[in-house]
Structure 1
Amino acid sequence: MKKLASLLALVALLAGATPALAGDDRPIAYKKLPAAARQFITSYFGDTRVSYAKVDSEWWDTTYEVVFDDGRKVEFEKDGAWKEVSCKYSQVPDVIVPPRIREYVAASHPGQKMVKIERSRREYEVKLDNGLDLTFDRSYNLIGIDD
């Protein structure tokens, strides 16, 4: 019984300490971003001033977030590949949206702007300025619509 109580106490202690140790969200200098992330920013957001950059270090993953003065935001993977681009008050740059997704949006939702795009290993999610969320698989086939 003492062993069980000791084990439960240890599990409770570790469960309480793990969240405090896992997340480390801190500001970083622009020059400390991965080279691929800096190149992406220069290519597609070169005309906008960076407000701040931060790194989020988890036990199993590291991501970077860059916020611009005009409110646009880009999130990067640890290798510098873009993960999410959010443009509240403008449009996501067309050149970063896969052509088949651009074509679908232009044909099926004319006049709508893409204000956010997010990609994962399995899918792309695009948010339009009318609030509609479109989900595409890695072959760029529409697999979901959420309003």
Structure 2
Amino acid sequence: MKRTRIILAGILLSAWTLPAAAGNDRPIVVGELPAAAREFLRTHFDGLEVSYAKVDEDFFDKEYKVVFVNGAKVEFLEDGLWKELDCKYGEVPAAAVPRQIADEVARLFPERKIVSIDRGRRDYEVGLDNGLELTFDRKFRLTEMDD
């Protein structure tokens, strides 16, 4: 009986303390980003003033977020590869968009600008300045359009 109470108390204590350790956001300076992320920012967002940068540390991974004064934001995975680019008041730098996606958007929507792109495990979601959202698979084939 005493053993059962001790085990139950351990489980309850774990249930209270584990969520407190998850979702640990903390501000960082750009110099604390992974090297690949710093190089990406230097290449595609050079000259833009950073509003803030933060790291979100979970149990098994880290994600980084950089927000610029002009409202643009970039999210990176733990290894420094970009996960999401959102330039809601401007255009995603053309060199940051995979060439096949940029070519297809230019062919189908020649007057439109790419304002966001999100790289998922299975696809890319691209937002255009007219509100249209396009989904491309990992082979860069257009699979869905949503407005």
- TM-score, normalisation: structure 2: 0.89
Classify the secondary structure of the residue corresponding to 1:90: coil
CA distance in 1, matches of 2:69, 2:136: 30
Q: 1:50-96 CA distances to partner (integer Å, 9 max, x unpaired)?
A: 11110000111100001111111000111111111100100001111
CA distance in 2, matches of 1:117, 1:29: 24
Amino-acid identity (%):
52
Q: Which residue of 1 aligns with 2:89?
A: 89
Paired residue type of 1:62: K
Paired residue type of 2:42: T
Q: CA deviation at 1:97?
A: 0.9
Classify the secondary structure of the residue corresponding to 2:103: helix
Q: What aligned pairs does 1:1-147 form with structure 2 within 5 A after superposition?
A: 13-147=13-147
Q: CA deviation at 1:18?
A: 2.9
CA distance in 1, matches of 2:5, 2:23: 29
More deviation, 7-16/60-69: 7-16
Number of equivalences: 147
| 141 and 28 in structure 1: CA distance in 2 versus 1, 3 angstrom threshold | same
Moved over 2 A (4+): 1-19
Q: CA deviation at 1:142?
A: 1.0
- In structure 1, stretches of 5+ residues that fail to align are none
CA distance in 1, matches of 2:135, 2:80: 23
CA distance in 2, matches of 1:127, 1:15: 39
- In structure 2, stretches of 5+ residues that fail to align are none
Q: How large is the RMSD of aligned CA atoms in angstroms?
A: 2.0
More deviation, 102-111/6-15: 6-15
Q: CA deviation at 1:128?
A: 0.8
Q: CA deviation at 1:110?
A: 2.2
More deviation, 10-19/87-96: 10-19
| 52 and 2 in structure 1: CA distance in 2 versus 1, 3 angstrom threshold | same
